Amino acid sequence: MPKHWKKYDESKKKFDSDKIYSYAEAIELLKTINLTKFDPTVEIAVKTNANPKYNDQMIRSTTILPNGTWKSKRVAVYVWDDKLEEVKKSWADVVWSEALLTDIKNWKFDFDVLLTTPESIKWLVSVAKQLWPKWLMPTPKAGTVTTNIVQSVEEIKKGKIEFRLDKTGNIHAWIGKLSFGNKKLEENLESFLKAVEDNKPVWVKWKLVKKVVVSTSMSPGIQVEC
């Protein structure tokens, strides 16, 4: 631990923690202060003026990053017979089966995202207590209850991510790997912040975003324009 924190402190000296940097400057700095020997994930933290205590100020939505993400998500689909053949032609990893609900009831999750249709959502009520704590319960707001399952599966596979306001009024997400290169990371960063602004609750009368910080795995955070 002492060795880690020594490197952390040294990296903080390479930039001004009070300065607000442009997207390009911040991404370039991330390379300079990288503390890992592996290809680190680039993370973004957005501090907002939204109050999570009020339902009308909650934020939960999705966006497709233009250059995708570093992680390939496993997608499960729960539908009834009339949709099965259509879904089997998609890129879904797990398609509805008799064992799916049983696995969920036993807290076994072989997927990262669960999709369903408006007609089939009622059958997932029996496993809602298992799905909600892991944020896996399909909802229209998150785009996981949909009439176009095939398109939704493809979007997730191509880099669609979900973001939401946490209990402290912040939004956290991954926007790629450091190896993506400056331009692709800048485009993902800009696209993500636009998606957050586009989902500003109407009851937040002041500016939504207060502060934006980017970092890599185990590195200090760098403030960027917002």
For 107-122, how does the pLDDT look when each residue is reduced to its tens digit (9 = 90+)? 999 888 999 989 889 9
Whole-number CA gyration radius for the chain: 20
Based on the domain organization, do 143 and 86 belong to the same domain? yes
Based on the domain organization, do 90 and 142 belong to the same domain? yes
Report the domain count for the chain: 2
Which CATH number is 220's domain given?
3.30.190.20
Based on the domain organization, do 173 and 64 belong to the same domain? yes
Q: Is residue 45 part of a domain?
A: yes
**Where a domain ends, among 157, 186, 213?**
157
Q: Are strands 60-64 and 209-216 parallel, antiparallel or unpaired?
A: unpaired
Average pLDDT over residues 23-48: 92
Q: Is residue 9 part of a domain?
A: no
End-to-end CA distance of the chain: 34
Q: Is residue 119 part of a domain?
A: yes
Based on the domain organization, do 93 and 44 belong to the same domain? no
Q: Is residue 10 part of a domain?
A: no
Domain residues for the domain of 111 are 75-157
Based on the domain organization, do 150 and 204 belong to the same domain? no
Based on the domain organization, do 165 and 128 belong to the same domain? no
Orientation angle between helical segments 182-198 and 23-32, nearest 10 degrees:
130
Hey, which of 44-58, 93-107, 129-143, 156-170 has the most confident mean pLDDT? 44-58
